């Protein structure tokens, strides 16, 4: 790839939250970015932010847990932006419940979006990375991978993302492809706002309570995670692979 050619990145779940901030950051660093989310229309705001800053972006509607939709979406990105060599598996959902109340559907939905989604997207993109002799895969894990009450499904999926990441690193390293995971702590997004609502707390009170448990004494912002993803996506970060970086305002026990 010549140095003048723009690298193509796909960020899943990029209509809002951490994915949107990551898409904007990768675009600012010179990538052409496919802003992928369930609803193509919902991607418009992220695309507008990127193009408003002089960047290149494409809105792509796709359910990452659906194999056919993933193949179609990656083919469309390749045709309209170019072959994707950076992939950020960020799309996610919560279906929190204590084990005895958790439905089969709560379990399957979380596994399908996080794990099956990351698998399908990575499989669809890897051939382009192998062809380019270069690739960066960044997967979103979570501090919940260490165990979190009410999240047996999500904790299992986010711990699974770590094993998935390390295995990609081992399989794909010789093709110039790295795979790493970012494991956020509490980040203020619609996801955590929904959790506050579910437990009957105002979001500001919920954030303030969480901040008392965080060494840097604040909750995280989407840009805090975008910054870590950008490090792993950087061309210069070619000797760091199979790592999990907790971005949580302090160490976790």
Ligand X SMILES: NC(=O)c1ccc[n+]([C@@H]2O[C@H](COP(=O)([O-])OP(=O)(O)OC[C@H]3O[C@@H](n4cnc5c(N)ncnc54)[C@H](O)[C@@H]3O)[C@@H](O)[C@H]2O)c1
Residue 91 lies near ligand X (rule: CB under 6 A)? yes
- Indicate the residue whose CB is closest to ligand X: 17
Minimum CB distance to ligand X, residue 38 (Å): 5
Minimum CB distance to ligand X, residue 131 (Å): 25
In sequence order, the 6+-apart residues with CB closer than 8 A to the CB of 101 are: none
Q: How many helices (H) and strands (E) does the chain have?
A: 9, 7
CA torsion sign, 32 to 237 to 120 to 144? negative
Tokens of 197: 């609502």
User: 132 vs 152, which CB is nearer to ligand X?
Assistant: 152
- Candidates 55, 135, 184, 249: give the one binding ligand X (CB under 6 A): 184
In sequence order, the 6+-apart residues with CB closer than 8 A to the CB of 202 are: 196
Residue 122 lies near ligand X (rule: CB under 6 A)? no
Binders of ligand X among residues 3 to 62 (CB under 6 A) are 12-13, 15-19, 37-38
Residue 64 lies near ligand X (rule: CB under 6 A)? yes
The catalytically annotated residue of 154, 164, 206, 246 is 154
- Candidates 46, 49, 90, 151: give the one binding ligand X (CB under 6 A): 90
Tokens of 221: 């912002």
Binders of ligand X among residues 216 to 235 (CB under 6 A) are none
- Candidates 47, 59, 156, 187: give the one binding ligand X (CB under 6 A): 187
3 state SS of 178: strand
* DSSP label of 174: G
Tokens of 139: 């997967």
Interface with ligand X (CB under 6 A), residue total: 27
> How far from 82 is each of 1, 26, 164, 177, CA to CA, in Å?
12, 15, 26, 17
Q: Give the binding site for ligand X (CB under 6 A).
A: 12-13, 15-19, 37-38, 63-65, 90-93, 113, 117, 140, 142, 184, 186-187, 189-192
**Residues classed as catalytic:** 154
């Amino acid at each position: 790839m010549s140095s003048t050619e723009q690298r193509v990145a796909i960020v899943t779940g990029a209509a809002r939250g951490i994915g949107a901030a990551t898409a904007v950051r990768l675009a600012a660093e010179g990538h052409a970015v496919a802003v992928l989310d369930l609803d193509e229309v919902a991607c418009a705001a992220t695309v507008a932010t990127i193009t408003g800053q002089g960047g290149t972006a494409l809105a792509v509607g796709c359910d990452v847990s659906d194999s056919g939709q993933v193949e179609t979406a990656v083919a469309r990105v390749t045709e309209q932006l170019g072959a994707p060599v950076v992939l950020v598996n960020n799309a996610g959902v919560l279906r929190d419940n204590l084990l005895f109340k958790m439905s089969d559907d709560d379990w399957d939905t979380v596994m399908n979006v996080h794990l099956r989604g990351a698998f399908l997207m990575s499989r669809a993109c890897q051939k382009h990375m192998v062809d380019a002799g270069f690739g960066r895969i960044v997967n979103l894990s979570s501090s919940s991978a260490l165990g979190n009450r009410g999240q047996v499904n999500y904790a299992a999926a986010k711990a699974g993302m770590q094993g998935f990441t390390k295995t990609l690193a081992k399989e794909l390293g010789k093709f110039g492809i790295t795979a790493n995971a970012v494991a956020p702590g509490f980040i203020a997004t619609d996801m955590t706002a929904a959790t506050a609502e579910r437990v009957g707390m105002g979001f500001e009170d919920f954030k303030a309570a969480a901040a008392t448990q965080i060494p840097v004494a604040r909750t995280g912002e989407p840009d805090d995670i975008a910054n870590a993803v950008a490090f792993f996506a950087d061309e210069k970060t070619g000797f760091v692979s199979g790592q999990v970086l907790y971005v949580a305002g302090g160490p976790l026990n």
